[in-house]
Amino acid sequence: MAQARTDSPTSTTSTTTSGSTGLAVSGGGSSALDSPQGRTTIADTVVSKIAGIAARDVVGVHALGGSGTRAVAALRERIPGGRTNVSQGVAVEVGERQAAVDVDIVAEYGVAIADLAAGIRQNVISAVERMTGLEVTEVNIVVHDVYLDTGEEDDAPAEAPRVQ
């Protein structure tokens, strides 16, 4: 997903060209990322971090990423000074005015997955569009697993032996 997405208007509104910049703008408005004073470019990593944080904020998301990604993240967090990778499980394509987001998740058991996916989409689109000014064209979600809370802790004491 390293290639940039080509930007074409996806709405049915008319497209006009603004001034001398040659910027195509839907509906006759102006892009917040281009101005007479200069141009703003947003890196893929910025969008992936915003999308990752927004996806984690949705109730019912246990973790982001597939099993391999989560295993590597667990090792990274154990290293002194290591921190959580907020863009783990998120891939993006960012163009000049649009972005597409792919999110891999582990869902909590008991949560309606269709409702969870709709909540993730809404939260990711809202956060990315508000913070970057980019139009989010799609948010694809892959549910890799369902987390079952067994109530046992990893550090729980061993059970008493059955025989003496």
Determine the topology of domain 40-147 in CATH. Answer: GMP Synthetase; Chain A, domain 3 (3.30.300)
Alpha-carbon gap, residue 90 to 46, rounded angstroms: 11
First to last CA, the chain: 60
68 in Cβ contact with 160 (< 8 Å)? no
Tens digit of pLDDT per residue, the chain (164 long)? 444 444 433 333 333 333 333 333 333 344 678 889 999 999 999 999 999 999 999 999 999 987 666 666 666 666 776 667 788 899 999 999 999 999 999 999 999 999 999 999 999 999 999 999 999 999 999 999 999 988 755 545 556 667 76
Q: In DSSP terms, which residues pair with 138 in a beta bridge? A: 100
Delimit the domains of the chain by residue range.
40-147
Strands (E) located in the chain: 15-18, 23-26, 34-35, 38-39, 61-64, 90-94, 98-108, 135-147
Specify the 3-state DSSP secondary structure of 57. coil
Residue-wise DSSP of 3-45: SPPPP---SSS-EEEETTTTEEEETT---TTEETTEE----HH
